[in-house]
A and B are shown apart, each in its own frame.
Chain A
Amino acid sequence: MVEFRNVSMSYERGHDVLKDISFKLPPGSMHFLTGPSGAGKTSLLKLMYLARRPTRGEIMMFGRDVAKSAREDLPKLRRRIGVVFQDFRLLDHMTAVENVALPLRIAGGSGAHINEHVEELLAWVGLKDKMTAYPSTLSGGEKQRVAIARAVIRRPDILLADEPTGNVDPEMAERLMYLFVELNKLGTTTVIATHDNGLVEKFGSARLHLVSGKLLHLEGTPNGEGSI
């Protein structure tokens, strides 16, 4: 369960980029986060992946108000969240395999089984031949897929993706979306920020729509999930 209660956020004494946001995402639900550029989609995701704290309001995740959680408790919570960043944010000095293995290494994993697992996932996203490639040698779409593999490698409880299909061809975009759907079916609560209305219509999941920092409406909830 992810629940926002009257959440507002501003950057360093600026005006509110998110204004009095309230919604509930049931466990295992899948939502698209839509809205025009500058509407606050990335800011909302930042709150959800615990990169920032809200200026006001409560954010209930993993059964607690993470907005007020102690700083030392946050790393453990962050490990339960997978994030696909809009700008990929791969580490340039690490190979594709090393980048994808990062969340496992951070969680204290080591050894051959990590690489085996990582290579399997990279092969699944079509990067079997790019395992040892560095990000600087990968195309935008390939970087995107490495970033997605890194986000899902630990089967997170919550998966947040910021324009995850923005740099891939339609065929790969659909394939990646099916990966998200599969993960969602395994119980991962998924939120995908996108501009791609075609994708939203095709997958027909619930939709959080932001305009100028306000959550205007929640629509397309075929399973009755999600509510404002």
Chain B
Amino acid sequence: MTAPFDFLPNEKKREATKLLPWVMAIMVYLSALAATGSLLLHSGFDDWASSLQGRVTVQITGEDPDIMSAQSDEIQDTLRATPGVSSVRPLNDQEIRTLLEPWLGAGNITDDLPIPIMIDVETNEDVYVNLEALESKIKQISDSVYLDDHARWLNDFYQLAYTVESTGAGILIMILLASVCIIIFGTKSSMSEHKSTIEIMHLMGAHDQMIARAYQNRFMKYGLKGGIIGLVLSFITVYGFLILIQNLSGGFVETPTLPYLKMSILLMFPLIFAALAMITARITVMRELGRMV
């Protein structure tokens, strides 16, 4: 085992790999954005889904408001009497109008428009409520009553979340593979550029490991340098987007909250890319040297 010895020319001198840190910066930037996007969506999906879990909406439709109101009272009594139901609250007119406005437009909801009665029901998580039985029971009061436990919508929602997260993971894997290819290409280019230096080292008795170590250390620095630059740029971009969303929405759309704890994994990206660059460069150099006598 010999002492570490960097025999390669200075980075500032012209060489095939001098742009590599910037390529790595772009790769880490894209990876961090993909990961942040996935984490944000995951976090948002979790928040939305958890807010819907344990909630049921009962909708009563009809043409005669008086009949609908009487049916609503009876249904509310039935619901309150059901074990496991913790809260029953009919939405007031204003709340229903607010819900309808995004679809019908502000000011288009007139008094003669048949608006259903909506009852927000919360169930106790600890007690099982047989929603099918409950729906049959309240349907005896009115045929025009619907119970929505959001299950179908939540299923579609989870499927979308899973697809988005899988796509994010796929993008990350593709970026990692592309990075490996770029590192291999960069290492081979550098070896080709410094062919005579490597040959001399080889002929003077340098072990393959010594030559590989010089390369792996250099490429590790490229990965780390590029990784830090890419990560900082990605953070600036994400915060820029958040500010933009906040300004654009004017409070209509809730600004996503960054899951800081989960996002701390992004701090590992420069280290992951540095390790990837180091290992890839070492394997490439050892394989190339293996072809020499």
- A residues lining the B interface (CB < 8 Å): 49-53, 71-72, 74-79, 83, 89, 91-94, 102-103, 105-108, 110
CB A89 to nearest CB in B, in angstroms, measures 5
In the complex, what residue of chain A is closest to B289 when comparing beta carbons?
A71
CB B73 to nearest CB in A, in angstroms, measures 90
Contact of B206 among A50, A75, A89, A93 (CB under 8 A): A75
Given contacts A93-B13, A102-B200, A102-B201, 15 further A-B contacts (CB under 8 A): A49-B203, A50-B203, A71-B290, A71-B293, A78-B203, A79-B204, A83-B203, A91-B200, A93-B9, A93-B10, A94-B7, A102-B7, A102-B204, A106-B210, A108-B2
CB B91 to nearest CB in A, in angstroms, measures 77
Interface: B207 (CB within 8 A): yes
CB B268 to nearest CB in A, in angstroms, measures 34
CB pair B203–A106 under 8 Å, yes or no, is no
Q: Once bound together, how far apart are the Cα atoms of A102 and B10, in whole Å?
A: 16
CB A70 to nearest CB in B, in angstroms, measures 12
CB pair A107–B293 under 8 Å, yes or no, is no
CB pair B293–A106 under 8 Å, yes or no, is no
CB B278 to nearest CB in A, in angstroms, measures 22
Q: Once bound together, how far apart are the Cα atoms of A98 and B107, in whole Å?
A: 84
Q: How would residues 164 to 204 of chain B score, 1 for a CB under 8 Å from any chain A CB and 0 otherwise?
A: 00000000000000000000000000000000110111111
CB pair B3–A108 under 8 Å, yes or no, is yes
CB pair B293–A91 under 8 Å, yes or no, is no
Instruction: Report the count of interface residues on B (CB-CB < 8 A).
Output: 22
CB pair A106–B196 under 8 Å, yes or no, is no
Q: Once bound together, how far apart are the Cα atoms of A89 and B203, in whole Å?
A: 11
Indicate whether A76 sits within 8 Å of B200 (C-beta atoms), given known contacts A51-B293, A105-B5, A110-B3.
no
CB pair A103–B204 under 8 Å, yes or no, is yes
CB pair B293–A89 under 8 Å, yes or no, is no
CB pair B205–A79 under 8 Å, yes or no, is yes
Residues of chain A within 8 A (CB-CB) of B290 are: 71
B1-22 interface (Cβ within 8 A of A): 1-3, 5, 7, 9-10, 13
CB pair A89–B196 under 8 Å, yes or no, is yes
In the complex, what residue of chain B is closest to A53 when comparing beta carbons?
B293
Residues of chain A within 8 A (CB-CB) of B199 are: 89
Residues of chain B within 8 A (CB-CB) of A71 are: 290, 293
Residues of chain B within 8 A (CB-CB) of A72 are: 207
B201-222 interface (Cβ within 8 A of A): 201-207, 210
CB pair A50–B5 under 8 Å, yes or no, is no
Q: Once bound together, how far apart are the Cα atoms of A108 and B205, in whole Å?
A: 11
Residues of chain A within 8 A (CB-CB) of B293 are: 50-53, 71, 74
Q: Once bound together, how far apart are the Cα atoms of A49 and B5, in whole Å?
A: 23
Residues of chain B within 8 A (CB-CB) of A93 are: 9-10, 13, 197
Q: Once bound together, how far apart are the Cα atoms of A52 and B196, in whole Å?
A: 16
CB A115 to nearest CB in B, in angstroms, measures 15
List of 4 A-B pairs having minimum Cβ-Cβ separation, nearest first: A79-B205, A93-B9, A78-B205, A108-B2
Indicate whether A107 sits within 8 Å of B9 (C-beta atoms), given known contacts A51-B293, A91-B200.
no
Residues of chain B within 8 A (CB-CB) of A74 are: 293
Q: Once bound together, how far apart are the Cα atoms of A75 and B202, in whole Å?
A: 7
In the complex, what residue of chain A is closest to B5 when comparing beta carbons?
A105
Q: How would residues 266 to 293 of chain B score, 1 for a CB under 8 Å from any chain A CB and 0 otherwise?
A: 0000000000000000000000001001
Q: Which of B2, B196, B205, B210 has the most CB of A within 10 A?
A: B205
